[in-house]
Amino acid sequence: MDSFKKHFLKALVMLIPAVALVAGMEYYQKQQMEQGQTSAQIGGTFVLQSADGPFDLSQQGDKLNVIYFGYTQCPDICPTSLSVMAHAFKQLPEEAMSRLQGILISVDPERDTLEHLKNYTEFFHSNIVGLTDTPENIKALAARYGAFYRKAEIAGSAMGYAVDHTSIFYLTNSQGQVVETVSHSASPDDLLAALKRQLKL
Nearest to 165 by CA among 143, 149, 151: 149
Instruction: Choose which of 50, 123, 125, 199 interacts with other proteins (CB under 8 A).
Output: 123
Amino acid 115 reads E
Q: With contacts defined by CB under 8 A, name the span among 3-11, 46-54, 59-67, 117-125 that binds other proteins.
A: 117-125
Amino acid 183 reads S
Contact 171, 177 (CB under 8 A): no
Closest separation in Å from C-beta 164 to other proteins: 5
The site map against other proteins for 50-69 (x = CB under 8 A) is: --------------------
Q: Is residue 155 at the binding interface for other proteins, with CB under 8 A as the rule? A: yes
| Stated length of the chain | 201
Q: Is the sign of the CA dihedral 154, 157, 161, 166 positive or negative?
A: negative
Q: Which residues contact 98 (CB under 8 A, 6 or more apart)?
A: none
User: In Å, how far from its chain's centre is CA 193?
Assistant: 20
Q: Which residues inside 76-115 make contact with other proteins, applying CB under 8 A?
A: 76-77, 79-80, 83-84, 87, 115
Instruction: Choose which of 122, 142, 196, 199 interacts with other proteins (CB under 8 A).
Output: 122
Cβ proximity to other proteins, 74 vs 194, nearer residue: 74
Closest separation in Å from C-beta 64 to other proteins: 21
Q: Is the sign of the CA dihedral 22, 24, 25, 27 positive or negative?
A: positive
User: What is the binding site for other proteins (CB under 8 A)?
Assistant: 72-77, 79-80, 83-84, 87, 115-116, 119-120, 122-123, 148, 152, 154-159, 162, 164-168, 183-189
